[in-house]
Structures are given as C-alpha cells and as structure tokens.
Amino acid sequence: MIKMKMRLGIAILVSFILVGWCRGEQCGRAIGADLLNNPDAVATDAVISFKTAIWFWMTAQSPKPSCHDVITGRWSPSSADQAAGRVSGYGTVTNIINGGLECGKGQDSRVQDRIGFYKRYCDLLGVGYGNNLDCASQRPFGSNSQLLLDTI
C-alpha cells in the first residue's frame, strides 16, 4: 500500500512538472488533451505522456528554441545567446530543460550523469557527441541578466 501511494505521489508530481514545462494549456491544445483540468493524465496515460514529451522536444517556447532545433543544428544562437555562453550542442538542450536549476553554476553531478547517458547512447548509435556537452558556464534562458542583454 505504501509503495502504491508513493508511486501515485511521484506520478502526480511528474504530471505537474511536465505540465508546467509544457505550459499546460498550450501543450494540451496541441496534443488534444485537457491538461489544465486533468494534469494527472501526463503521469497516468502513456499516450498523453509520450505526446507531451514529443511536444516539448519539438516546440520552441520563447525565449528558448526547441531541443530538436538545437541538437540537429537548425538553431543559430543570437549574439545575446553567444554572450550567455549558449551555443549549439547538448549543453544547450540541458539549458532548455533544466537551465534555471543546473546551468551557470559550475560543474553539477546531475548534468555529468546525464552527459554520461548521452555519450552512451551516441556510442550505441555510432554518432559523435558534438561540442558543448554541458551548461556549467551558460546563463539560463530568460534569466534577468539575459533579459538585460536582449534589450541592449
């Protein structure tokens, strides 16, 4: 019973995090689900969960580009992005997803673990890692210092 309650609690937490990342209404409209009134669906419905993840990966959310555009090289960093240390590569993908929590704060074991997983899958797929693997020296998107740079 305790394990079931813990799983439900984790599922609810994950649903709120994902809906927050996906800007509930915008994401829900795009995937055809009412995530504002039923955010738990992200954690409890596998199809909605998958659609939400794909939507987040593919959709730019200003001021952030889409993860897809960054990792495929379709995104060109602006001069403000470059000044903030954000250039194409896996580190900027991390910045898009968890920038405020993990980027611009020096080395972070969570980021290093994720880089290890990324390298493992690149190796399995026979593709290169690219440059810019971490976000240790990047300012997060939308940080106050970035907003100031964008206005200059």
DSSP string over 95-136? HHHHHHHHTTSS--HHHHHHHHHHHHHHHHHT----S----T
The reported pLDDT for the residue numbered 89 is: 95
Q: Distance between CA 70 and CA 144 in Å, rounded? A: 22
Question: 83-103 in b/e burial notation, b at 16+ Cβ within 10 A?
Answer: ebbbbbbbbbbbbbbbbeebb
The reported pLDDT for the residue numbered 43 is: 87
The reported pLDDT for the residue numbered 85 is: 96
Helix (H) or strand (E) holding 147: helix 144-151
Closest by alpha carbon to 71, among 20, 24, 125, 5?
125
Backbone CA torsion sign across 99, 101, 102, 103? positive
The reported pLDDT for the residue numbered 22 is: 55
- Which residue ranges of the chain lie beneath pLDDT 70? 1-23, 144-152
Residue 64, token pair as written in the block: 């952030």
The reported pLDDT for the residue numbered 106 is: 87
Q: Which residue has the tokens 């580190």?
A: 91
Residue 68, token pair as written in the block: 């897809």
Closest by alpha carbon to 22, among 1, 43, 5?
43
Contact assessment for residue 48 and residue 55, using Cβ atoms and an 8 Å cutoff: no
The reported pLDDT for the residue numbered 123 is: 96
The reported pLDDT for the residue numbered 20 is: 57
Closest by alpha carbon to 142, among 88, 75, 63, 66?
63
The CATH architecture of the domain made up of 67-151 is: Orthogonal Bundle (1.10)
- Torsions phi, psi for 64 (to 5 deg): -90, 140
Domain ranges (residues) in the chain = 2-58, 67-151
